[in-house]
Structure 1
Amino acid sequence: MTQRLTVGQAVVRFLAAQHSERDGVERRLVTGAFAILGHGNVAGVGQALLQNALAPADGEEPLPLYQARNEQNMVHAAVGYARTLNRLQTMVCTASIGPGSTNMVTGAALATIDRIPVLLLPSDTFATRRAEPVLQQLETEQALDVSVNDAFRPVSRFFDRVQRPEQLPSSLLAAMRVLTDPAETGAVTICLPQDVQAEAFDWPDELFRRRVWHVARQVPEPAALDRALAAVRGARRPLVVAGGGVVYSEASAALTAFADATGIPVADTQAGKGAIAHDHPCAVGGVGATGSAAANALAAQADLVIGIGTRYSDFTTASRTVFADPGVRFVNVNVKAFDAAKLGAEMVVADAREALTALTGALAGHHVDAAWTATVRRETDAWSVEVDRCYRPGPGPVPRQTEIFGVLNELMGPQDVLVNAAGSMPGDLQALWRASSPDQYHLEYGYSCMGYEIPAAMGVAMARPGGRVVALVGDGSYQMAPQEIATLVAEGLAVVVVVLQNHGWASIGALSQSHGSQGFATRYRMRDPASGLLDGPDVPLDIAANLRSHGIEVLEPRGTDEFRTAFVRAAAAGRTTAIVVETDLQGAGPSASAWWDVPVAEASRLESTRAAREDYERARRNQRHHL
């Protein structure tokens, strides 16, 4: 039997019938669609979504449309949604041809770098070429089949262009395979020419049957496990680095049991924070360029590093300087062999929960030396004093951002979610935040994308209806992507948007100062006609008024005490509410304990740059290849 549907209708009908399963629990795989409809998709996929809503076929599941305001934002929202659900569910994003679709490229790069599944349906030019060049078409003389959507190829885990209806089934099935593969997942892109979207075809009923995609938990290969066990048993100062793979695998309990049994200290990455509770005796905090002094001191002494679900970004390794023991070795547990092989490690290609369970069982009776345990306690106790200092209100009239973090850390519970990305805040948060659960800390730092916070918080709120979600945003990030406030209002979602206003880019300003560039062009200033530079008065942007224009309540506390009161009020509002608080752009954060490789100009007429280059050359001598 066949059904006559357009390509757009077939895509929607197919997606509505897909499910994922892990540990015996089945879920809808694609639960909705973010869309901005234009001439590339309004009469194709857009019409199909309308038909799904108003005239579904017998047994066809709903695929609700969420009307986003910016195409990049809707991909970020889908990422926030999928990450919150541990990559077992996601959403589809569709956009018109030309700028609508290429606006999604940044979101695609973020999803692929962070290993988060999202499905993208960018509209494309005419497959028939009967009306070329169509509006917004890129013309190249060398290859007539090239379109702007080819920009998605390097940032997608799977890419296809459906030129004929007959090609659609194989494309859709391949897309679902990648979306549900823990090792291969990321952005999945299927380009749909606008004429093909509207073309009808007789599809076999089999295409639309209910399908369940089983998300496997790969068990460790016995020989690989034995090699890892030998390394652990032979180590005197082992250290675990827990990454996002621990969280996505729902392996927090297994990690805690491993730490309980062995006493091995556990550091975390941005994506892995909360995988073990901050108050566990083995929890030592964030490691790397923005990590805690405790974790970095232990990393410098470790003779074995056990990476679990981490891809070892330059921030995690402090640009390959933080693991400083001359004989340090690595054991890496990862579902992706590419990541497991990094730093010359013994590879255990396996699911994090399965590997941790196997390691814990095989290491029964094994425990680290008392001397290493005492070192761990000494370092973490000292760092706890530093966290308290940073969280405590300072003497200045304007609070440091770390004081605001202290209030949030105190008032947010284990099931609340903090969403943040990019700038100085992730650095301070990784070092200071006391995460009590793997759900609480949602930081995007793989792509470190400014503007991620508000749309991602929307995705988190959609994934956790009734939960408390906080989007923590700097004034720089806010100005890049505030558009989805309107979508939050339209959908009746409750997010507390906290904007820290400091009239500049704190992170890049500090980096500029420390690298000899004097903070140049890192503050929001008016141009001074006399100097010709952006060093005049502050730009008179009223962020609170901008937020109020969306029809939401905006609170403007002064200082940490008023902020505490404002947050309690906003969290209880049951609707999106914003807090705008002035913070000190120059306010000192936690003490730095590691390095990050940002090259400094090798030749300059500026003394500040020459001095910074000398510092850079000294620091670079500590880099290692770990081969």
Structure 2
Amino acid sequence: MAEQTIAEAVAQELASAGVDRVFGLPGGEVLVLMEALRQRGIDYVLCRHEADAGIMAGVYGKLKGTAGVALTTLGPGAANLMLPLANAWLDREPLLAISADIPASWPPSHTHQRLPLHDIYRPVTKHVERMTPLNARSAVRRAVAATLAQPLGPSYLTLSAEDARLPAAEPVIPWQPPEPAPVGDPVSAAAELTQRLAQAERPLVLLGLGVRPANAPALRRWLESWKLPVAVTPKVKGLVDETAPNFVGVIGGMAIDDLMLQALEQADLLVGFGFDPVEVDKTWHARLPVLWALESANAAGELPRHDLLLADHGQLLEHLSRQDPPRAWGDPFAPIRAERLAIARGESRAPRRGLKPVEIVQALASVLPAETIVTTDVGSHKYLFGQFWPSRYPETFWMSNGLSGMGYGLPAAIGAKLARPGVPVLAALGDGGFSMNSHELETACRIGVPIIVVVIADQSYSLIRLAQESRGLPRHGVDFGPIDCVATARACGADAVRAGTPEEIAEAAQQALRADVPFVIEVPLHPDAYRDIV
């Protein structure tokens, strides 16, 4: 049997880790690795920008339960990885980024495309390593293990074109999935949590990024059995059914945040079950009484300094399920829930004329199945969908919220649809974000990914425009000319329509469900329509 090259060894290790797709842009320095991936049966998804490739990979990997891999060349290709790596670092997405680098044998005087890549990415990754003939196999294993260890996050590997062709010196050993790190005692955690709840008059359970989707069924049973009011942060929408009577709302700076802050202030105990403040744009979590029920550190390795219950959530929920609730709490947040639902129905806080933002959500939700995966970009529409989209199932709502980086929504939808081809995927974008990477619609067409894209076109960075207005500043640098999203979509090979009423939006969504190509729905909206909601 011929000796494996490093490129072939890397491809074998990735395949053994369950990687079946790699996202990226080619470069001469990674062609040998790309060929090794092809021969190993790993699909290469050609994207239009490295940042988009990384976002697709992170979402794809998380939905598939393995590391999502992005592959780029050196220099500018590697530099474009900052956005997806930073996003994965703060938003817990299992991204393994691999780039080419300058060969170690080249003299230091050769500075063309030479960047201190390891130094640049080490602060925002869990593992950084250069692959060589002596460590290529184990480097991939260390990177994958770090990426998949809780909290999930990014790793970064480099491989020079010179080393890729050399023989791999490490022996082939059977693949072993990484073992989860042990955590604290679930028995004492359950006892402490029960005692604190028994003393509370108005408890509110806050679910966050630290809850693994696999624990959603047990979590739902506990909350329903004990009749505990619950709220979620946006990236775990769907862990609980948001149409259930005990659901209070979405916290973390989404629409009607003032109302959600009222609920937090009224609570006398906040149970932070997997709650990670990385999604919160205010500091109430440092002031209000939070009991932290975590099974790992939060994003960036942070742990609360007090009131911490560290235990495996599955085991903790098992112990809680064996107990009766320590008391009854009634429905302390009923007025807040009622006001939130009235706003969601468009009965208050809505513009007096024109299309209401909540009507866009209502129209789409009335047509799309409950299992639809929704991704959002960043802007006023993110706040809108984050609060009012009625998520029913885990892993069906995706946004960049720890980093809050624009350009996330469209590539995230492509990654999600590749991972879950059997369910509809809706990307909710603004026209500002759409203009950043609408070219990835060509990618979606080329690889056969019929996503649905709604573009709310207000010809403005409306969230910043409202911030200017609230601070008494003149409007400046926030408005732009119209972008013909329909023409742009068609130029990329997608289908597209313009819809201006709730009925037209619902009809367009029905068309999109039947389409076999990406389908864009442009919805014109005046930017002032978001006022009083976001």
**TM-score (structure 2 length as normaliser):** 0.92
Q: How do 1:460-539 and structure 2 match up within 5 A?
A: 460-524=416-480, 539=481
What residue number does 2:56 align with?
77
Change (3 A) 1:513 1:111: same
Shift of 1:188: 0.8
1:265-308 C-alpha deviation (Å, 9 max, x unpaired) = 10111112221112222110112432556543221111111011
| Most deviating of 65-74 and 432-441 | 432-441
Which letter maps to 2:289? R
Distance 2:375 2:399 in 1: 6
Shift of 1:264: 1.8
Q: Please say if residues 494 and 519 of structure 2, whose CA atoms lie closer than 8 Å, have aligned partners that are also in contact.
A: yes
What residue number does 1:419 align with?
375
Change (3 A) 1:436 1:217: farther
Which letter maps to 1:556? R
Change (3 A) 1:291 1:479: closer
1:287 aligns to 2:243 (yes or no) = no
Q: Please say if residues 245 and 272 of structure 1, whose CA atoms lie closer than 8 Å, have aligned partners that are also in contact.
A: no
Which letter maps to 1:91? G
What residue number does 2:268 align with?
303
Q: Please say if residues 415 and 440 of structure 1, whose CA atoms lie closer than 8 Å, have aligned partners that are also in contact.
A: yes
What residue number does 2:343 align with?
386
1:93 aligns to 2:70 (yes or no) = yes
Q: Please say if residues 414 and 440 of structure 1, whose CA atoms lie closer than 8 Å, have aligned partners that are also in contact.
A: no
Shift of 1:210: 4.2
Change (3 A) 1:365 1:95: closer
Q: How do 1:128-527 and structure 2 match up within 5 A?
A: 128-129=105-106, 133=110, 135-138=112-115, 147-162=116-131, 164-183=132-151, 185-206=152-173, 209-214=174-179, 220-246=185-211, 248-290=212-254, 292=256, 295-313=260-278, 316=280, 319-321=282-284, 328-337=288-297, 344-362=305-323, 364-370=324-330, 373=331, 375-389=332-346, 396-397=353-354, 399-524=355-480
Partner SS, residue 168 of structure 2: strand
Shift of 1:582: 0.9
Q: Please say if residues 402 and 589 of structure 1, whose CA atoms lie closer than 8 Å, have aligned partners that are also in contact.
A: no
Shift of 1:540: 4.8
Which letter maps to 1:361? R
Change (3 A) 1:172 1:549: same
Q: Please say if residues 296 and 322 of structure 1, whose CA atoms lie closer than 8 Å, have aligned partners that are also in contact.
A: no
Shift of 1:350: 2.7
Change (3 A) 1:302 1:541: closer
Shift of 1:394: 6.0
Distance 1:502 1:482 in 2: 16
Distance 1:218 1:391 in 2: 46
Question: Structure 2 regions of 5+ residues with no counterpart?
Answer: none
1:159-206 C-alpha deviation (Å, 9 max, x unpaired) = 1123x31022331221122122123x3111011122112222344232
Distance 1:251 1:221 in 2: 14
Change (3 A) 1:35 1:337: closer
Q: Please say if residues 239 and 267 of structure 1, whose CA atoms lie closer than 8 Å, have aligned partners that are also in contact.
A: yes
Distance 1:514 1:392 in 2: 17
What residue number does 1:111 align with?
88
Shift of 1:345: 3.9
1:326-365 C-alpha deviation (Å, 9 max, x unpaired) = xx53211222245797565422223333323323334x14
Partner SS, residue 255 of structure 1: helix
What residue number does 1:46 align with?
34
Distance 2:369 2:133 in 1: 50
| Most deviating of 458-467 and 569-578 | 569-578
Partner SS, residue 223 of structure 1: helix
Shift of 1:96: 0.7
Tell which structure's C-alpha radius of gyration is larger. 1
What residue number does 1:601 align with?
none
Partner SS, residue 438 of structure 2: coil
**TM-score (structure 1 length as normaliser):** 0.79
Question: Structure 1 regions of 5+ residues with no counterpart?
Answer: 19-27, 53-61, 139-146, 525-538, 593-627
1:55-74 C-alpha deviation (Å, 9 max, x unpaired) = xxxxxxx2111111110001
- Root-mean-square deviation over aligned CA pairs: 2.6
1:377-415 C-alpha deviation (Å, 9 max, x unpaired) = 232123211211169996534x24332122122222221
Number of equivalent positions? 532
Partner SS, residue 307 of structure 1: strand
Distance 2:142 2:400 in 1: 27
1:211-241 C-alpha deviation (Å, 9 max, x unpaired) = 3345578574433333333212222211100
What residue number does 2:5 align with?
6
What residue number does 1:566 align with?
508
1:121 aligns to 2:98 (yes or no) = yes
Change (3 A) 1:551 1:289: closer
Q: Please say if residues 344 and 358 of structure 2, whose CA atoms lie closer than 8 Å, have aligned partners that are also in contact.
A: no
Partner SS, residue 251 of structure 1: helix
1:554 aligns to 2:496 (yes or no) = yes
Identity %, equivalent residues: 23
Shift of 1:512: 1.6
